[in-house]
Amino acid sequence: MSATIRRLTAADLDAVMRVQAACYPPALNEERALFARRLAAAPETAWLAESAGTACAYLFCYPSRPGGITPLGGDFSPSRSATALYLHDLAVAPAVAGQGLGGRLVATAVSTAQRLGLVQASLVAVRDAEKFWQAQGFQRAGELTAEQQALLAGYGPAAVYMQRPLVA
């Protein structure tokens, strides 16, 4: 598949909402206004994949600290002393699933994080995504605090907090 990856802009939010609706059950859908706030908070770490002029995947991230978990429906709070990149939302439209776009978006995020001098990436894997994230170099985090466990529970029973080092 010939797809391009570029920075996401506010003009892309309607397309983001369509991809999200195609990928997630209603309980995991987040509001357009929230996506707009997240994009405003961290515009340098949000990307869109397009094929034939149609949005087909996106990834929202932000500079964070290790161990941070953004609640489902929560705003981004980029850290001024960030050492990690938090990958909050990756969605690939079912019509293009399995064609490598998710991996390309993750590679873009990792490259950006390394350029920014960040040393770790972290995320919450939802539904059946743990194997995908393992293939991207992420592993389950060790023991979680009670606060982290409570935040993770908001994503459903199959949610897993995962981390990946970005330096050798």
Identity of the amino acid at 134? Q
Q: What does the alpha-carbon distance between residue 57 and residue 66 come to, in Å, rounded to a whole number? A: 26
Residue 83's Cβ-count burial label (10 Å; 0-12, 13-18, 19+) is: middle
Q: Per the structure block, which two tokens stand in for 160?
A: 């897993």
The SS3 assignment for 164 reads strand
Mean pLDDT calculated for residue range 131-151: 95
Over residues 97-111, the pLDDT tens digits come to: 999 999 999 999 999
Q: Is the CB of residue 5 less than 8 Å from the CB of residue 47? A: yes
The pLDDT mean for the chain works out to 94
User: Higher model confidence: residue 127 or residue 78?
Assistant: 78
Neighbouring CB atoms inside 10 A of 131's CB total 8
Question: Is 1 a residue whose pLDDT tops 70?
Answer: no
Question: At 168, is the pLDDT very low, low, confident or very high (cuts 50, 70, 90)?
Answer: low
* pLDDT for the residue numbered 102: 96
* pLDDT for the residue numbered 129: 92
Tell if the pTM clears 0.85, that is, is over it: yes
Question: Is 52 a residue whose pLDDT tops 90?
Answer: no
Q: Show the DSSP H helices in the chain as ranges.
A: 13-23, 32-41, 101-115, 130-135, 146-153
Question: Is 130 a residue whose pLDDT tops 90?
Answer: yes
